[in-house]
A and B are shown apart, each in its own frame.
Chain A
Amino acid sequence: MTNSSALEKVHKKGLFGDYENKNEDKLIKISEEKDFLILQIAQYKNSLISVHNIKVDGLVFNNESLKVACNNDTRILWVGPKNWLLISRKKDLLKNIFESLKETDFAITDLSHSRAIIELEGENSKEILKKGCPFNFDELKKDSCLNSVFHGISITIDMINDNPNKIRLFALRSFGESLYDSITDSCLEYGYKNL
């Protein structure tokens, strides 16, 4: 086994916090996500081609801030002007991407190992993030994303679903344990289950 994920050593299964006498459905579910292909895709400033003509795994890149283009396997997050984070379960997409996105127009950098990923599921997920992130979560809808901070740690937030709320958090790998501690601490009041 050559591969260790960022939170392997800290994420332990179980029930924590104020979980007693609560229906397990009401608890926040926390899990570590791993084994994604993660790429930074940046279009050069002077590249003239229209990004709307390009499809990766059937998805089109969009230039709208906070928007996510997605299907079951792949999510393309807008993280800046002409700048996207592609997250996919399909590792072999890399070849297809190098073919569709020419080197002259795009810089593609593999960041698959550079993130620690925590997924929160439950109706109180947004309340957890409000404890450390100054973003207006009323504006966060399904399939939208943003970069912000949580208790001083820069994170990328991807809202996967909204019924119930399912939110994926990305932080730099080295911050993983600190973010995990911060997030789980914020969940104690509600009670949480580590999957």
Chain B
Amino acid sequence: MLFIKCPYCGDRSQNEFAYGGDATVKRPEINKEVSDKDWDNFVYLRKSPRGKHLEFWHHVSGCRQWFKIQRDTSTHEIFKTFKVTEEI
């Protein structure tokens, strides 16, 4: 059971959260043209690294905020958690 530091609520147990997918992917701007390739990359293509992974988590039973976690996919070590607006 992971122990996750929500940037707003502090350390909480994994049961309060839901995993939210790859956070390195940025949705192309709305109302702007985007090539088929770039769009398909956004919708489908994901790296699956063994090691550090930047991902979204949602504090569903807490503050309901989305935030980012840098986690090692093989050891589950969590290096850092930060708000959506913060950079690594």
Contact = CB atoms under 8 A, between A and B. Distances in A.
Chain A directly contacts chain B within the complex, with at least one CB pair under 8 Å? yes
Interface of A: 65-66, 79-81, 83, 134-136, 146-149, 154
A146 B59 CA distance: 12
Given A79-B63, A80-B63, A83-B63, A149 B16 contact: yes
A65 B9 contact: yes
Nearest to A154: B61
Contacts of A81: 8, 63, 65
Interface residues of B, number: 15
A80 B63 CA distance: 4
Given A80-B63, A80-B65, A149-B15, 17 more contacts: A65-B8, A65-B63, A66-B9, A66-B10, A80-B8, A80-B62, A81-B63, A134-B13, A135-B13, A136-B11, A147-B9, A148-B12, A148-B16, A148-B61, A148-B62, A149-B16, A154-B61
Main secondary structure of the interface of B (DSSP, over half): loop
Contacts of B64: 80, 83
Contact of A65 (B10, B15, B60): B10
A103 to B, nearest CB: 22
B67 to A, nearest CB: 11
A65 B65 CA distance: 13
Contacts of A134: 1, 12-13, 15-16
A136 B9 CA distance: 12
A149 B8 contact: no
